[in-house]
């Protein structure tokens, strides 16, 4: 038996906060101050000549703004410094081609968040089987849902500790995302079987061995259109429809260039709550499904998809209008709801944690090639869900997503792997040139 090898692991854990109305107002003030500070930094960066841009100049401006603007005092000093670091990192991500160019953050379209960069400021303590208490700077002691054991108290040391956190608000309220660092034994190589996975719309995850993963709900309505609210029960869907109709009615009374009324904002908040609940259920299904796959299979093979190109609009231009624009819009919406990219991200780190491997293979023709004979024809898809081989000597038919999953696994066995699980494909580009796949 070999010597036990230890490795550091970093992961995040998100918990829901139980705030009083006064604490919620303080958190909102911090988030609005953080957004305004980001916009001020971006404004200064755009106005400063390139030869004079520097981290020192930005830091001095930030400190001066905190002295002159009263409501900036709601934001802790460490959180303000974290905004500066995040802003500079955003520019580095753009220069390296990993993200879009940083821009201004709008009030109603930006996720409200505040960073707590130092873990020692949190002072976490477990007070109940289901509840813990965390210290939030300039807010005080706040309860949060204890759903996972955290390295706090006597269980914390230099290798197992919480390094920081981020406060995030969605339609369901404020949450805290802990950054956890642990020291764990390096997993042994996974000896499980190989499997190919095809991400689809009718069948969320089709596996090459037939053990398909479905979320138990029909992805399409009887008329064939995509059900954009499939994660809500019938009562929630009816409530969402009433709220959307109410919002449209109240919006009809708004004059051009006028602000939305408080009633309309309250209606929008109720819609956000239902949307956030659906997103939470979808993410929970993804976590449970990808964990089960990572524990069962040693090698997971997926397609190298460029999802941003797949969900582009088909409306075209005035001179060359597109065809089947409504159908393509419904398909784009269904692809976005399935969140294929997030599924691959989860599989990547979960297979590595279990000692397995995730591999990507080329995507072209995996849906059009017959997995029984290898024959490729453009009209082999009878419909969205069925594949029929047009080879006169074959004629094999099966679920289209299952056929694609078998082809994906076959490509890996033939040596067409592109990206191993432990590595992340980073496309380098010339500075200032925006890639087509940038998010």
Closest CA to 366 of 426, 338, 417, 407: 407
What pLDDT does 304 receive? 84
Query: With bands split at pLDDT 50, 70 and 90, how would you rate the model's confidence at 228?
Result: low
pLDDT at 394 over 60: yes
- pLDDT, tens digit (0-9, with 9 covering 90-100), for 85-143: 999 999 999 998 888 899 999 887 888 999 999 988 899 999 989 999 999 999 999 99
pLDDT at 289 over 80: yes
Tokens coding 209: 């061995």
Give the C-alpha separation, 344 to 364, whole Å: 18
Give the C-alpha separation, 99 to 226, whole Å: 30
What pLDDT does 177 receive? 94
Q: In terms of residues, how long is the chain? A: 439
Which residue intervals of 52-211 are DSSP H helices? 55-68, 77-95
Q: Which of 4-8, 31-35, 69-73, 334-338 has the highest mean pLDDT?
A: 31-35
- Mean pLDDT, rounded, of the chain: 83
Which of the two residues, 199 and 326, has the higher pLDDT score?
Answer: 199
Which sign does the torsion angle of CA 236, 242, 243, 245 carry? positive
Tokens coding 100: 């879009």
Query: With bands split at pLDDT 50, 70 and 90, how would you rate the model's confidence at 2?
Result: low
Query: With bands split at pLDDT 50, 70 and 90, how would you rate the model's confidence at 438?
Result: very low
What pLDDT does 143 receive? 95
Give the C-alpha separation, 233 to 222, whole Å: 17
For residue 17, list its beta bridge partners.
144
Tokens coding 188: 């042994």
The answer to whether the beta carbons of residues 195 and 300 sit under 8 Å apart is yes
- pLDDT, tens digit (0-9, with 9 covering 90-100), for 137-189: 999 999 999 999 899 888 888 889 999 999 999 989 999 999 999 988 888 88
pLDDT at 420 over 60: no
pLDDT at 258 over 70: yes
In this predicted structure, which of 198-202, 274-278, 381-385, 411-415 has the lowest mean pLDDT? 381-385
* DSSP structure class, residue 399: E
* DSSP structure class, residue 154: G
Residue 37: how many other CB atoms lie within 10 Å: 22
Which of the two residues, 426 and 360, has the higher pLDDT score?
Answer: 360
Give the C-alpha separation, 268 to 171, whole Å: 10
Q: At 290, give phi and psi (nearest 5°).
A: -65, -35
Tokens coding 354: 């279990």
Domains annotated on the chain, with CATH: 6-185 (no CATH), 194-229+284-413 (3.30.420)
pLDDT at 283 over 80: yes
What pLDDT does 27 receive? 94
For residue 238, list its beta bridge partners.
none
Query: With bands split at pLDDT 50, 70 and 90, how would you rate the model's confidence at 427?
Result: very low
* DSSP structure class, residue 296: H
Q: Which of 55-59, 175-179, 212-216, 325-329 has the highest mean pLDDT?
A: 175-179
The mean pLDDT value for 272-279 works out to: 91
pLDDT at 403 over 90: no
What pLDDT does 6 receive? 83
Give the C-alpha separation, 178 to 167, whole Å: 9
Give the containing element (helix H, strand E) for 128: none
């Amino acid at each position: 038996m070999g010597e036990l090898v230890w490795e550091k692991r970093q992961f995040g854990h998100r918990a829901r906060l139980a705030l009083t109305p006064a604490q919620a107002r303080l958190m909102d003030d911090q988030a609005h101050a953080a957004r305004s500070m980001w916009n001020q930094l971006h404004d200064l960066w755009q106005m400063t000549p390139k030869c004079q841009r520097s981290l020192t100049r930005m830091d001095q401006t930030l400190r001066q703004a905190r002295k002159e603007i009263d409501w900036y005092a709601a934001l802790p000093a460490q959180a303000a410094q974290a905004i500066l670091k995040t802003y500079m990192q955003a520019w580095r991500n753009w220069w390296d081609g990993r993200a879009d160019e940083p821009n201004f953050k709008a009030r109603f379209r930006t996720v409200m968040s505040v960073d707590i960069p130092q873990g020692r400021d949190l002072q976490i303590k477990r007070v109940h089987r289901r509840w813990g208490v965390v210290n939030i700077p300039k807010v005080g002691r706040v309860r949060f849902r204890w759903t996972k054991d955290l390295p706090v108290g006597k269980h914390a040391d230099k290798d197992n500790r919480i390094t920081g956190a981020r406060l995030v608000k969605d339609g369901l309220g404020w949450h805290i995302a802990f950054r956890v660092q642990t020291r764990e034994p390096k997993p042994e190589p996974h000896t499980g079987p190989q499997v190919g996975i095809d991400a689809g719309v009718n069948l969320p995850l089709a596996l090459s061995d037939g053990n398909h993963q479905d979320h138990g709900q029909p992805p399409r309505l009887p008329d064939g259109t995509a059900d954009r609210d499939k994660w809500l029960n019938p009562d929630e869907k009816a409530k969402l429809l009433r709220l959307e109709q109410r919002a449209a009615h109240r919006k009809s009374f708004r004059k051009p260039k006028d602000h939305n009324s408080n009633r309309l904002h309250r209606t929008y908040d109720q819609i956000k709550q239902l949307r956030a609940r659906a997103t939470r259920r979808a993410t929970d299904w993804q976590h449970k499904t990808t964990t089960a796959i990572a524990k069962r299979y040693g090698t997971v093979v997926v397609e190298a998809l460029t999802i941003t190109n797949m969900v582009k609009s088909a409306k075209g231009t005035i001179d060359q209008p597109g065809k089947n624009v409504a159908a393509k819009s419904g398909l784009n919406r269904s692809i976005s709801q399935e969140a294929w990219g997030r599924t691959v991200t989860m599989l990547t780190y979960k297979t590595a944690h279990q000692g397995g491997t995730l591999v990507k293979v080329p995507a072209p023709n995996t849906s059009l090639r017959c997995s029984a004979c290898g024959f490729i024809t453009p009209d082999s898809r009878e419909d969205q869900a069925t594949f029929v081989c047009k080879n006169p000597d074959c004629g094999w038919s099966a679920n289209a997503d299952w056929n694609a999953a078998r082809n994906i696994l076959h490509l890996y066995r033939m040596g067409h792997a592109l990206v191993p699980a432990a590595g992340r494909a980073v496309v380098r580009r010339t500075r200032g040139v925006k890639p087509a796949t940038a998010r």
